[in-house]
Amino acid sequence: MCLAAIALVAAQAQEVSSPDGNVSVKFSLSPSGQPTYEMTYKGKQIIKPSHLGFQLARDKHASKGMDETDLLNGFTLAGSRTSTFDEAWQPVWGQYKDIRNHYNEMEVSLRQPATDRNIIIRFRVYDDGMGLRYEFPLQSALNYFIIKEECTQFAMPGDIRAWWQAGDYDTQEYPIQETHLSGIRPAITHCVAFDDKGKCHRRTDYIEDRMRDAVVWDNASQTIFSPTGVQTSIQLVTDDNLYINLPEAACVDYATMHLNLDERTMTFTSWLTPDATGYKGCMQAPCKTPWRTVLVSDDARDMLASSLILNLNEPCAIEDVSWIHPTKYCGVWWEMIVGRGAWNYTDEFPSVKLGQTDYTKAKPNGRHKANTEEVKKYIDFAAKNGLDQVLIEGWNIGWEDWACMWKNDVFDFVTPYPDFDLKGLNDYAHSRGVKLMMHHETSSSVINYERHMEQAYQLMNDYGYDAVKSGYVGDIIPRGDYHYSQSMNNHYLYAVKEAAKHHIMVNAHEASRPTGLCRTWPNLVGNESARGTEYEAFYGSKPSHTVTLPFTRLQGGPMDFTPGIFETQLNTWSDNQHNVHSTLTGQLALYLVMWSPLQMAADLPENYAKYDDAFQFIRDVACDWDDSRYIDASPGKYITVARKAKGTDNWFVGGKCDEDGHEVTVKLDFLDKGRKYECTIYADAKDAHYETNPKAYVITHKVVKAGDTLKLTEAPGGGFAISLLAK
């Protein structure tokens, strides 16, 4: 029946292809007037015929266009228009100096005669994929509406292999799984079960493997909604090695999208994050949705090299970007993560209240690390090693009972603990050419954060901070909202825009996974929005994790992954019994593989002191690039990339692999011809192994030139880093 229907309308289909002709998107209306699209790559079907549309909610204010009639079918084609666009633009920071935005566009105007409503579906087709979005023009019959669900389908070409993370409204910090699509349900239901109301519970018979399982039940805030729900971006590969990726782009004032799989047809359908009432979006025409995108290539490297997501975002909205800069930093952080220090100043009170608890009279717990003496050590370390900034977590009052207590007024973002000399430390840092980096943990009490935001940013201006790491641990206040609800996406962007007014760069942790908004707001220099290094100190991540994230999480923008842990065996210097699942040089590789304009040297100064020869790479490596060349890549297995440092002729190469090790030959064909380069190779020693011998490395110095070849061997869970400094 379904095939017949598709065949019937084929004659009326609208079609648009990529500039190189490899990617084609066909749009048609089913006999019932249901918008439908399909997509091919080099003639092969990538997205099978898939429907588009919306279920709308009947609101209690049903007047003025708030009607329950869905936008699913009954459409007629009112017109279509194709056009071509080609321009080059320069990002403020990123993988490339210049980015080409070259696509063919098809604008399909649809009319639902029974309701007198009009929508537009816009397709942009690139050589490496396509984006589609819905647009709702100004009109009297569709003015305000509430989305019950977006119904955008992605019908997969079969039960293909996927790297995916369990769908969740509140966390994206799960391990990434590799299964066929049919393996999603077993993996999720291995850990959790759903009750009659669709609410998710941890299975009573489940003995968790926190590092390996799809769903862990430990995050401060988590809301799994379906046994076949996954997050975007999901990386896929067909049996004939076509790589497919499903990210979203330009999510503004709209809920974050998940995908829910129907295994009978291997079709993903969009599943938006609801608000506290269960509905998924309040819209006012004229408006548009984020882009729903499909990356495709027969070369896995193209998944990493693509700028499609950035291209689908709006140009930079900030006129003067001179204050936005790449930043290398260290900080008072890892010591607390591993458990050797504390964010809070005192253990004296069962609970504390802003403005009531007198910290000056409180008994210090002796474990508070954000103290003047300790911070000075980090400032000295940063100054000595050319790091730009020092992050200090736990500097401000409120950490005694900050998380998951449904407290509104957790932090004021301006009052330091008695042992943190706010002015003195900033003065000291500045005198040494270093800036302090602000930390705003909001505890997800968003109302409280917005009330204090202006004063908090003003304090940063007053003392000379120009970057903030913000955090959203725990359940959202206003209660009932989720981390990825429309209102929260609205908030995260509000915080970035307000920061821009103060010339402040933002690195928001636990915020929604980015969708390329850093093109428009380049002061959004980082996000966490995935399982970062901290989990190594909790339960661990598999070595494959860092060669999977660039295919998934990094599609939308850089991640503050906090690499650079040299003392990977944590029990050698703390009571933490976990190991970081990487060799030491594998950690160095992350500065290339996990590109970001914001890079932390996350380990302790005393640990770096033990391996100062290897630390030279962190001193040298850039974090902003004129060019990037992916040398080889396979999702979850290995990634090798060479990058040219911004404004220089220096190149850096990094390679990282999973637990199986990897060999790669790097042809230095990207170097300037006729020029010589001082080459330093930081490689795993022969017997290195992420579990048994992680700190065995060899540093080799040589002089190289364009056309030379380097053979690198990465140990299991290992990697390498190379600096190529133009002589």
Residues assigned a catalytic role = 534
Rounded to whole angstroms, how far apart are CA atoms 383 and 431?
A: 10
Q: Which residue, 441 or 658, has its beta carbon nearer to a copy of itself? A: 441
In the complex, what is the shortest distance from the CB of residue 520 to a copy of itself, in angstroms, rounded to a whole number?
A: 16
Tokens of 559: 């991640």
Largest CA distance in the chain: 80
**Residue 410 is which amino acid?**
V
- Asked if 534 interacts with a copy of itself (CB under 8 A), we say no
The piece of 184-192, 323-331, 486-494, 544-552 that touches a copy of itself (CB under 8 A) is: 486-494
The piece of 29-37, 347-355, 642-650, 680-688 that touches a copy of itself (CB under 8 A) is: 347-355
Q: Which residue, 60 or 701, has its beta carbon nearer to a copy of itself? A: 60
Which residue shows structure tokens 């509000």?
Answer: 494
- Asked if 481 interacts with a copy of itself (CB under 8 A), we say yes
Q: Which residues contact 568 (CB under 8 A, 6 or more apart)?
A: 536, 579, 580, 581, 582, 583, 584, 587, 690, 694, 695
Q: Which residues contact 400 (CB under 8 A, 6 or more apart)?
A: 344, 345, 346, 347, 349, 351, 352, 357
The secondary structure of 459-520 as a DSSP string is HHHHHT--EEEEE--SS-BSTT--TTSHHHHHHHHHHHHHHHHTT-EEEEESSPPP-STTTT
In the complex, what is the shortest distance from the CB of residue 71 to a copy of itself, in angstroms, rounded to a whole number?
A: 17
- Asked if 351 interacts with a copy of itself (CB under 8 A), we say yes
Of positions 15, 59, 412, 627, contacts a copy of itself by CB under 8 A: 59
The piece of 35-43, 443-451, 678-686, 707-715 that touches a copy of itself (CB under 8 A) is: 443-451
The piece of 89-97, 134-142, 293-301, 674-682 that touches a copy of itself (CB under 8 A) is: 134-142
Q: Which residue, 401 or 659, has its beta carbon nearer to a copy of itself? A: 401
Of positions 1, 11, 61, 319, contacts a copy of itself by CB under 8 A: 61
3-state SS, residue 16 = strand
Of positions 284, 458, 692, 709, contacts a copy of itself by CB under 8 A: 284
Binding mask 92-131 for a copy of itself (x = CB under 8 A): ----------------------------------------
* Residue 178 phi, psi dihedral angles, 5° rounding: -120, 110
In the complex, what is the shortest distance from the CB of residue 404 to a copy of itself, in angstroms, rounded to a whole number?
A: 4
- 282 to 58, 333, 449, 543: CA distances (angstroms): 12, 39, 23, 41
Of positions 480, 501, 669, 686, contacts a copy of itself by CB under 8 A: 480
- Asked if 408 interacts with a copy of itself (CB under 8 A), we say yes
- Asked if 139 interacts with a copy of itself (CB under 8 A), we say yes
- Asked if 406 interacts with a copy of itself (CB under 8 A), we say yes
Count of residues engaged in binding a copy of itself, rule: CB under 8 A: 41
Q: How many CA within 13 A on the CB side of residue 603?
A: 25
Binding mask 366-405 for a copy of itself (x = CB under 8 A): -----------------------------------x--xx
CB neighbour class for 136 (10 Å; exposed up to 12, middle 13-18, buried from 19): buried
Q: Which residue, 252 or 696, has its beta carbon nearer to a copy of itself? A: 252
- Asked if 276 interacts with a copy of itself (CB under 8 A), we say yes
- Asked if 487 interacts with a copy of itself (CB under 8 A), we say yes
Q: Which residue, 520 or 579, has its beta carbon nearer to a copy of itself? A: 520
- Asked if 285 interacts with a copy of itself (CB under 8 A), we say yes
- Asked if 279 interacts with a copy of itself (CB under 8 A), we say yes
> Positive or negative CA dihedral for 38, 39, 42, 46?
negative
The piece of 102-110, 302-310, 406-414, 693-701 that touches a copy of itself (CB under 8 A) is: 406-414
Rounded to whole angstroms, how far apart are CA atoms 504 and 435?
A: 13
Q: Which residues contact 482 (CB under 8 A, 6 or more apart)?
A: 169, 170, 223, 273, 274, 275, 476, 488
Binding mask 568-587 for a copy of itself (x = CB under 8 A): --------------------
Q: How many CA within 13 A on the CB side of residue 97?
A: 9
Rounded to whole angstroms, how far apart are CA atoms 78 and 694?
A: 63
Burial code of 436-462, b = ≥16 C-beta within 10 A, e = fewer? bbbbbbbbbbbebbeebbeebbebbee
3-state SS, residue 129 = strand
- Asked if 479 interacts with a copy of itself (CB under 8 A), we say yes
List the interface residues with a copy of itself, window 141-170 (CB under 8 A): 143-144, 146
3-state SS, residue 254 = coil
Rounded to whole angstroms, how far apart are CA atoms 43 and 466?
A: 50
Residues that bind a copy of itself (CB under 8 A): 59-61, 64, 66, 138-140, 143-144, 146, 253, 275-277, 279, 282, 284-285, 349-351, 353, 401, 404-408, 447, 450-451, 454, 475, 478-481, 487, 490, 494
